[in-house]
Amino acid sequence: MYEKMKDDYKITFIRGATTATGNSVSEIEDAVVELIDELISRNNLNKNNLLSIIFTSTKDLDACFPASIARKCNGLDSVAFLDCQQMYVSNDVNFCIRIMAQVLLPSKNPVKHPYLRGASKLRTDRC
């Protein structure tokens, strides 16, 4: 099984980001669910292909942990999650949630990085 998987899949890192509309649990939840859904759909992933996701959020988001929301999304309770605070830089995007996901991606699939909402200006080349 591993030999077949090794030839057909590669471990890949996918970046992405979004913004919440504010600092409430429901606003953060809406943003995280949308970001995870886009990560999965754009890259044709299933939950077995997701190995880990690191979340960072700007200092203006402190109502909840994005990882606690993601754990409840799409049956992802077995994925390794980590929350970190994004380094503070003046004039950064407000209410921003960034991800770096480690996934098993079919070797022939192109990587599609989801940059959504107000975070789309972070990487205009990937939107």
pLDDT band (50, 70, 90) for residue 121: confident
pLDDT, mean of residues 75-89: 94
Q: Could you give the CA distance from residue 71 to residue 123 in angstroms, rounded to a whole number?
A: 26
Q: Could you give the CA distance from residue 29 to residue 50 in angstroms, rounded to a whole number?
A: 19
Task: Give the CA angle between residues 105, 111, 116 to the nearest 5°.
Answer: 120
Q: Give the chain's mean pLDDT.
A: 91
Least confident of 60-64, 74-78, 105-109: 74-78
Question: Percent of the chain at pLDDT above 70?
Answer: 91
- Tens of pLDDT, residues 47-72: 899 999 999 999 999 999 999 999 98
Q: Judge whether residue 89 has pLDDT over 70.
A: yes
pLDDT, mean of residues 35-55: 95
Select the CATH number that applies to the domain covering 2-126 from these four: 3.40.1710.10, 3.40.640.10, 3.30.1330.40, 3.40.50.740: 3.30.1330.40
- Tens of pLDDT, residues 3-16: 445 568 999 999 99
* Residues counted in the chain: 127
Q: How far is CA 56 from the centre of its chain?
A: 9
Could you tell me the residue ranges of all domains in the chain?
Answer: 2-126
pLDDT, mean of residues 116-125: 84
